[in-house]
Structure 1
Amino acid sequence: MPFGEYRTWYRVSGDLSGGRPPLVVLHGGPGSTHDYLLPMCELSDTGQPVIHYDQLGNGGSTHLPDKGADFWTVRLFLDELDNLLERLGVAGGYLLFGHSWGGMLGAAHAATRPRGLRGLVIANSPASMTTWRAEMVRLRATLPREVQETLARHEAAGTTGTRSYFDAMRVFFDRYVCLVNPWPREYQASFMEMHNNPTVYYTMNGPTEFHVVGTLRDWSVEELLPSIEAPTLIISGRHDEATPETVRPFQDLIPDSRWEILENSSHLPHLEEPDRFREVLLAYLATVDGTQPGTRASDATTGS
């Protein structure tokens, strides 16, 4: 689909003309791809349409490796989302599911109070990158000493692209990002897409989850959260790199919100606890599908 002079890749699962508002899936990164969230296509079996897309710069969308930091902005990705909604004809009624960075992006979108937004799911997301960076320091300190030393040595030398750094990074990922071993195929696909084309991720985030030196290092959506009117489900994992400290502002500041913690998950509960994840999400969707005035997310989801 055209997005200015570029193109956004998208995929629709289910029937957009069936009367139910589609669930638009915002992947993480920034700079990842939709692949690791593909299992959510299964929701279309229940009659829930699902829209995946690759954000500009990665996957099937236009790659722009020569663009600098002034191009890769939050505003760019908000504009891309608005373009997608309008061109697919769903801006009058839709739901958002945002994972990690996608949750922050979804919150920023929802804070503008778009008339068509029926509900918002914020999954495994921090509300503030400043808090996230502080929590990354704490989580890194739980790693074996030799792993910490390897990470610090490569970061100081600027050699974060080496196999040695990757192996040390993997220790962190296996504890706080994906508990499934070996990694599911969908997650491997997104990981390698971002590894092979790291332009957006390196520019906005940095070389890895816990070494955030990019343009988003101090970004926060906390001040926007009280403006969100959509009923909101918040999801995180008990062992998540998105720790309770990073997630809590969503529940504290979004007026109509509910927080569900999946006990046997880290950052990817849809892959780590798929049955429980599906149960929680479907219960929420049942309350906001064709939302009527007075329907609240807090009336719907099970206790954590």
Structure 2
Amino acid sequence: MALPAPSAKGTVPFGEYKTWYRVTGDLGCGLPPVVVVHGGPGSTHDYLLPLARLAEEGHPVVHYDQLGNGGSTHLPGRGADFWTVDLFLAELDNLLTALGVADDYVLYGQSWGGLLVARHAAARPAGLRGLVVANSPASYPLWLEEMAVLRSQLPPGVNDTLLRHEAAGTTDSQEYYEAMTVFYEKHVCRLKPWPREYQASFYEVYNDPTVYYAMNGPNEFHVIGSLRDWGVEDCLPDIAVPTLILSGRYDEATPKTVQPYQDLIPDARWVIFEESSHLPHLEEPDAFHEALTTYLKSL
């Protein structure tokens, strides 16, 4: 399906750096824009471009690339101590202010972006009207527990191959990549071939993996970066806006990793897409669009 054309593209200064953004629709239309926060960390906006369809319902949509990837400033020489949650929270605040939407907006965070927007929302910013947490674990320790379960259910020999290369430090080998792809095709994107939008972000990560490797690790299920002990469970009771939680039945973000959002956010409801894994906006686009537009109308 053809996406609506962007109404604006550009960059905003973020200290000495730049954050790239894309707007679809009219930011002055009177409805709060949906600001889309991508996963990774270290991915790009591309795989979430289908959310631009919301502009056809009247809600302007803001996509952006987080620092270190895509159209934003790349910093391949920066070490792990530079890439922090606080850095990306500050970047989000800066973007909202620079675009003039900080007094009236909705946040959509997918995967790592879901944790980021939850932390942002817990500070109770005055302009936040609603929150969508999509395919996101509430903590990385929970995520790692469930990764072990999902890995054990892969076809015979696949996890043995993964474990062997992880122990040897050879996660850049072709054999490891092929075994990794088995997991991705089951729990990240079940469509074959992978949609163009997802392929674009997937390859962007590996074109400059600085952020992803520093904060996450070599892939989705082997988290050895700085986020491995981090989570947002402690702040979820402080979220004071209506929250929509989304996940897929085959999602790498399993129900156990998502449950704290439902249990701890005071006003939350959870939709599970029965034919999806980690990307229901691509895997079940019509059902996804209906769930999201229904939520936005309820605000």
Query: Normalising by structure 2, what TM-score?
Result: 0.96
Q: Residue 93 of structure 1 corresponds to which residue in structure 2?
A: 104
Specify which of 55, 67, 72 is matched with residue 78 of structure 2.
67
Runs of 4+ in 1 over 4 A off after TM superposition: none
Please tell me the residue identity of whatever aligns with 2:210.
Answer: T
Partner SS, residue 62 of structure 1: coil
Aligned to 1:257, which of 262, 268, 273?
Answer: 268
Q: Distance in 1 between matches of 2:161 and 2:257?
A: 26
Q: 1:1-304, aligned counterparts within 5 Å?
A: 1-288=12-299
Deviations 1:150-201 (CA, angstroms, capped at 9, x unpaired): 1111111111112111110000011101010100000000000001111101
Cα distance, 1:148 vs structure 2: 1.1
Range with bigger deviation, 126-135 or 159-168: 159-168
CA RMSD of aligned residues (A): 0.6
SS of 2:35's equivalent in the other structure is: strand
How many angstroms apart in 2 are the aligned matches of 1:280 and 1:46? 13
- Give the Cα–Cα distance (whole angstroms) in 2 for the partners of residues 200 and 162 of structure 1: 20
| Partners of 1:95 and 1:210 in 2: CA distance | 29
Q: Which amino acid aligns with 1:279?
A: E
| Whole-angstrom distance in 2 between the partners of 1:93 and 1:115 | 8
Gaps of 5+ in 2: 1-11
Q: Distance in 2 between matches of 1:228 and 1:45?
A: 29
SS at match of 1:8: strand
The runs of 5 or more residues in structure 1 that have no matched partner are 289-304
3-state secondary structure, aligned to 1:7 = strand
SS in 2 for 1:9: strand
Q: What percent of counterpart residues are identical?
A: 68
TM-score by length of 1: 0.94
Instruction: Give 1:145 deviation, angstroms.
Output: 2.5
